[in-house]
Amino acid sequence: MKKPVIAIDGYSSTGKSSISKVIADKLGLIHLDTGALYRGVTWFALQNCTNESGSIDLAKLFSSLEQIDLEFKNNKGELILFLNHIDISKQIRTNEVSDNVSLVAKQKEVRDFLLQSQRNLAEKGGIIMDGRDIGTVVLPNAEFKFFLTASIDERTKRRYLELLSLGIEADEQQVKHNLIERDKIDSEREIAPLRQADDAIVIDNTNLTKRETIDAILSHIQTI
């Protein structure tokens, strides 16, 4: 029996990726963090496609997309993102990437570049994919769709603690500002905006633990 395709969308710092990893392990699925792919393109742009002021030159990035080879490799059960055969899993979590990823992710050229590769990965089933437009654009026919949300203060706390755990210096108010700005850009962008699919199950995990959120999602998945 073909294993299902599961789409998990939602706001930044609602735990989409870490929760998807646990569910993938429990159900024997492959987990794909699509946000990491956009962060990977952003990291490439910051290293190779900036103008004299240090800002990303989008035209230069678009003409350089063919130079980008993004690949997930399994390391002790965890998928690590490699850019042109170099592990960039820590670099893509820096504040600099966070400050620029929404700009990069809203570009049609970038989304088209990554879209087909994401769909190809899901063709055989047995995958859980998280992001912002998985249930609406990337995998509209996914068997299960979930949309995660939480209050801005709770998400700020989670993101701030995540950065500290990675050894990245952070200011909590700046983290909050960044999240609010990303919410606005992601929700208002013209191409594939962040929104709940009509048939998605909404889970507000402001007051839920990670375990409780996982249990809530698993309770809806019956046909594995």
Q: Which segments in the chain show pLDDT lower than 70? A: 1, 76-78, 222-224
| In a domain? residue 223 | no
| In a domain? residue 70 | yes
Is 110 exposed, middle or buried, given 0-12, 13-18 or 19+ CB atoms closer than 10 A?
A: buried
Quote the number of domains for the chain: 1
* CATH label of the domain that carries residue 75: 3.40.50.300
Which tens digit of pLDDT belongs to each residue from 90-148? 999 998 999 999 899 989 999 999 998 788 778 878 899 998 889 999 999 999 999 99
The whole-angstrom separation of Cα 32 and Cα 40 is 13
CA distance to 43, 66, 151, per residue, from 62 (Å): 14, 9, 35
Give the predicted TM-score (pTM) of the model: 0.77
- The boundaries of the domain holding residue 23 are 5-218
